[in-house]
């Protein structure tokens, strides 16, 4: 009797092949986590493979936790010797050990997006770059470049720095890297970039290869180029690599995910075994039929056909609303109805393409007394009071962290102004020390008021006192010391009750984490929360309707799913309609949304919607609705379509209880028409080009007058009339 006896034929085939490369094409809801965990159990219990030699990588803490819990049920205490983690967590652990080879201390801090923006804003002011570029845009560009393996030094060699915009961006990027390094800190993109760099060291690589002889990668379709390189470097020696993924669920191209990694696996590993998991254990037959019909329109699809023995199920309902308020009303009424029938709120979810759609939906939830939570808004760890206190913890963990020291030096208020900070910054720069270390020169710095000196000495004393006791204190005790000695809670003036509750919640979460991970160090705790996302922290048992973008819903499932905003120009987005690759990605996104539903699925779209501050009328339902298996749909108020372009001055045919939408002449909506006429240009969207000044780029948009090209330093518009003078194909 084998541990694999509980798997179906295809799952067993995938789990049994241990040696050599394996590609598991796992459709939505096909039991991929079960297959992977049983594969791990088979390796340990029946093949005698040491759990220390197995590395399993995934993308979210939630997925890693689920995999570890399931593995523990099968292998017991051996699970503690297994490395099951996210790419970022694995990279952090690698860099804690080998980061010194790149010049980092093992206690480096991890900067989040807000930290990035703050630092970039500071740099832009220092070097007097005050144009229309925002710190957020600069941070985004830097992250994209790092995800491609491009650092500041490489970029300078790739672009023409004589161009002012290029020179300015390169200067910011270079300074940003220098400050991070001197602060012994990394951002999220650095974790993967530096992990890949450290694996270029032959000694490190051989150690890692010999440690992890068996590699398992979940959600392989979501890997970017750097992650792909890391995986292939580690697996190169023994080639015992098993990747699990679904090309039909590749939806993160905007984050750098490269679908060709999964499509080309058999080229990379010639003797790979390919297994398709097509039996679905989640959704009804009607939902799966609709999904299958949709995704077959993608050329990149490998032809999986999901099926189930769970039964036919309810038809998929499609509702056309005259406007967005009616759409939100419809969804709210359906939720109220289902809840009155005994269905808990937690079993329902509303999905949408963009975060902006949530506002009206939220209004209707409130008006109907529906308990709900929005995922993707301000996260807990981004709140001011939480950032402040984590800033203290970050400085105590790493005294070189100048950014967080600047955050907390005047929190609570100590009347420490910019001029005072400038004096300490000057001392730090002259002596080649951190800002924290410069504080010991308080008495030697001229021009400081007596009151300011006392406040600074008090601040320095607080930090030094905690640092002296650091080894004897738990994370919770360090946190309590900060609260007590700074009197932070007493200093709160606005929204005190809510903010104190948030601090209490942080204290509770520290206690819970310490209970789960006894002996966790401050550095490990900061790493843990840095790598936790909003969806990771979602409590499934909480009785709330979940509102989230479709991207956020990946990997989740709900009994009842509502997908709002199924319209041309919104889903698929207007920018994707004229680009085949982008359109396929939007279709995959729709496929993901549909396959979140277990029992019932409802789709809605509106004839009128506010976009970019303007009302748009006569909106068409999404082409994705047309591409679904029509036999599985129930149209609650079907509109007769007369053409595939926006109609002029034609009434909408609806049931009598729906007020027809008002239509305006074409001139008032032409800017929102997704079916634009073909532009006469020799350039094509997706084409790689080289500019004589800006360097390499990719055409991402074409209109009647210009090309939009995405260069390393950002997007630029180039007049069609001048394109041939400046661009080479």
Catalytic amino acids? 32-33, 218-219, 249, 596
3-state class percentages of the chain: helix first, strand second, coil last, to nearest 5 = 50, 15, 35
How is residue 638 written in tokens? 């079907």
147 φ/ψ angles, rounded to the nearest 5 degrees: -65, -25
Taking residue 513's Cβ as centre, other Cβ atoms within 10 Å add up to 17
Which tokens go with 423?
A: 């004096």
Q: What span, in angstroms and rounded, lies between the C-alpha atoms of 256 and 228?
A: 11
Query: Token pair for residue 625?
Result: 């609705």
Token pair listed for 474 = 């738990």
Q: Count of alpha carbons within 13 Å of 553, Cβ hemisphere only?
A: 30
Q: Closest Cα partner for 83 from 59, 56, 64, 60?
A: 56
C-alpha distances in angstroms, 344 versus 8, 335, 341? 32, 10, 9
How far is the C-alpha of 400 from the C-alpha of 394, rounded, in Å?
A: 10
**The residue to which tokens 């301000």 are assigned:** 378
Q: Are 592 and 381 in contact (CB under 8 A)?
A: no
HEC profile for 311-322?
Answer: CCCCCEEEEEEC
Outline where 368-474 has alpha helix (H).
384-397, 402-408, 418-431, 435-438, 450-468
**170-184 as b/e: b if 16+ CB within 10 A:** bbbbbbbbebbbebb
Instruction: Provide the terminal-to-terminal Cα distance of the chain, rounded to the nearest Å.
Output: 61
Q: Which two tokens stand for residue 74?
A: 């099968």
CA angle 381, 382, 387 (to 5 degrees): 80
């Amino acid at each position: 009797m084998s541990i694999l006896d509980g798997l179906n034929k295809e799952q067993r085939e995938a789990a049994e092949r241990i040696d050599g490369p394996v590609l598991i094409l796992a459709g939505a809801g096909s039991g991929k986590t079960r297959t992977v965990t049983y594969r791990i159990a088979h390796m340990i219990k029946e093949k005698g493979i040491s759990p220390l030699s197995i590395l399993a990588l995934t993308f979210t803490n939630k997925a890693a936790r689920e995999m570890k819990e399931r593995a523990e049920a099968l292998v017991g205490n051996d699970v503690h010797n297994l490395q099951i983690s996210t790419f970022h967590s694995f990279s952090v652990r690698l860099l804690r050990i080998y980061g010194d080879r790149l010049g980092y201390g093992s206690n480096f801090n991890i900067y989040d997006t807000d930290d990035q923006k703050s630092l970039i804003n500071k740099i832009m002011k220092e070097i007097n770059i005050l144009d229309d570029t925002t710190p957020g845009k600069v941070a985004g560009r830097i992250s994209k470049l790092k995800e491609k393996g491009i650092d500041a030094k490489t970029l300078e060699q790739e672009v023409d720095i004589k161009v002012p915009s290029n020179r300015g961006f390169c200067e910011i990027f270079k300074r940003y890297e220098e400050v991070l390094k001197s602060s012994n800190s990394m951002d999220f993109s650095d974790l993967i970039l530096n992990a890949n760099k450290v694996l270029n060291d032959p000694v490190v690589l051989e150690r890692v290869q010999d440690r992890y002889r068996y590699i398992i990668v979940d959600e392989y379709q979501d890997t970017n180029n750097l992650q792909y390189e890391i995986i292939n470097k580690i697996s190169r020696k023994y080639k015992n690599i098993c990747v699990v993924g679904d090309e039909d669920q590749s939806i993160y191209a905007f984050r750098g995910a490269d679908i060709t990694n999964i499509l080309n696996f058999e080229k990379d590993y010639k003797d790979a075994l390919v297994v398709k998991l097509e039996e679905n254990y989640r959704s009804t037959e009607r939902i799966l039929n609709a999904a299958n019909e949709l995704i077959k329109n993608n050329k990149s699809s490998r032809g999986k056909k999901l099926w189930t023995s769970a039964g036919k199920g309810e038809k998929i309902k499609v509702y056309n609303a005259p406007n967005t308020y009616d759409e939100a009303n419809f969804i709210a009424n359906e939720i109220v109805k289902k809840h009155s029938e005994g269905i808990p709120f937690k079993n329902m979810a509303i999905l949408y393409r963009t975060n902006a759609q949530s506002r009206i939906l939220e209004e209707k939830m409130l008006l109907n007394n529906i308990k709900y939570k929005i995922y993707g808004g301000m996260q807990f760890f981004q709140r001011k009071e939480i950032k402040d206190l984590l800033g203290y913890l970050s400085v105590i963990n790493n005294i070189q962290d100048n950014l967080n020291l600047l955050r907390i030096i005047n929190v609570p208020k100590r009347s420490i102004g910019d001029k005072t900070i400038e004096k300490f910054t000057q001392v730090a720069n002259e002596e080649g020390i951190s800002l924290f270390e410069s504080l010991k020169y308080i008495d030697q710095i001229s021009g400081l008021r007596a009151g300011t000196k006392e406040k600074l000495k008090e601040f320095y004393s607080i930090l030094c006192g905690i640092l002296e006791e650091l080894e004897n204190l738990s994370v919770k005790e360090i946190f309590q010391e900060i609260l007590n000695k700074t009197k932070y809670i007493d200093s709160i003036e606005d929204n005190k009750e809510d903010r104190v509750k948030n601090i209490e919640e942080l204290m509770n979460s520290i206690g819970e984490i310490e209970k789960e991970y006894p002996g966790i160090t401050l550095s490990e705790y900061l790493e843990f929360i840095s790598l936790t996302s909003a969806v990771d922290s979602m409590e499934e048992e909480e009785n709330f309707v979940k509102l989230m973008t479709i991207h956020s819903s990946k990997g989740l499932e709900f009994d009842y799913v509502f997908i709002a905003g199924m319209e041309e120009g919104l889903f698929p987005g207007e920018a994707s309609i004229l680009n085949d690759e982008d359109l396929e990605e939007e279709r995959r996104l729709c496929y993901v949304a549909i396959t979140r539903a277990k029992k019932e699925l409802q789709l809605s779209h509106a004839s009128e919607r506010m976009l970019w501050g303007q009302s748009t009328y006569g909106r068409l339902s999404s082409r994705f609705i047309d591409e679904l298996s029509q036999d599985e749909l129930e149209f609650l108020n079907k509109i007769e379509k007369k053409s595939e372009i926006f109609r002029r001055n034609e009434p909408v045919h609806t049931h009598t209880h729906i007020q027809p939408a008002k239509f305006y002449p074409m001139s008032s909506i032409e800017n929102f028409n997704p079916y634009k006429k073909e532009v006469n240009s020799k350039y094509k969207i997706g084409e790689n080009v080289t500019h004589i000044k800006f360097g390499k780029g990719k055409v991402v948009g074409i209109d009647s007058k210009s090309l939009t090209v995405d260069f390393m330093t950002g997007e630029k518009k180039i007049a069609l009339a001048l394109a041939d003078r400046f661009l080479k194909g």
